[in-house]
Amino acid sequence: MNKLTHADVEVIEDQISFKGFYQLNTLALRHKLFLGGWSKTVSRELFKRHDAVGVLLYDPLLDAVALVEQFRIGVFGSDVARKNHQSPWILELVAGLIDKEEVPAEVARREAFEESGIIVEDIEPVGEYYSSPGGSNEYFYSFIGRADLTHAGGIHGLESEGEDIKVHLIQLDELWSKLDQGVLINAHTLIAVQWLKLHYKELKLRWS
């Protein structure tokens, strides 16, 4: 059987259920089945988001990275977080949303400066993926950025966007420990840190 495509989905109804900064659509649809024929009509909610980028700031001379810490409503509203006594302030990559036809790598550079005051000198793609394809259309671009982290730290972010972001300088040994101990609970951050752990020796050689 040939690979299934968009043409193998029939949208019967598509309604906007909510529209604010994000948008929620409710769809009635059916799709072709692997064994042939069509599924019954099903209802699905689609959380429509902007595509996004994230960049892990890495200094090959210091053997350190910069992560940002900020309040996240998703963790605050999580029963798991309350059960596990997880703070709604979590360590993450620098990240941001893509507006219109922006180039992802350039958005990563802009967000790095806005959220940390750090200039990305070189940038290396980690991967691209759907953040949560079971219910959202967000597509995420992940990068490692070479940066001078000598003076990394402090509080950053755009006041106009309600941002209050603390920058942390973390040595690689400590970063690997946080990875192993489950301290990093943001999926985008986990993916980038695991990629760096596999490739940092080659990056250090190339970027030093």
Beta-bridged to residue 156, according to DSSP, are: 165
**DSSP state letter for 39:** P
What is the DSSP secondary structure assignment for residue 2, as one 8-state letter? P
List 13, 161, 174, 202, catalytic entry: 161
| Beta-carbon count within 10 A of 70 CB | 16
| Contact present, 57 and 149 (Cβ < 8 Å) | yes
Radius of gyration for the alpha carbons in the chain, expressed in angstroms and rounded? 20
Alpha-carbon gap, residue 47 to 137, rounded angstroms: 7
**161 in active site:** yes
Rounded CA-CA distance 27/30 in Å is: 10
> What is the full DSSP assignment across 86-122?
--SEEEE-EEEEPPTT--HHHHHHHHHHHHHS----E
Q: Residue 79 contacts by C-beta under 8 Å, 6 or more apart in sequence?
A: none
Q: Residue 130: beta bridge partners?
A: 139
Residues marked active site are found at: 161
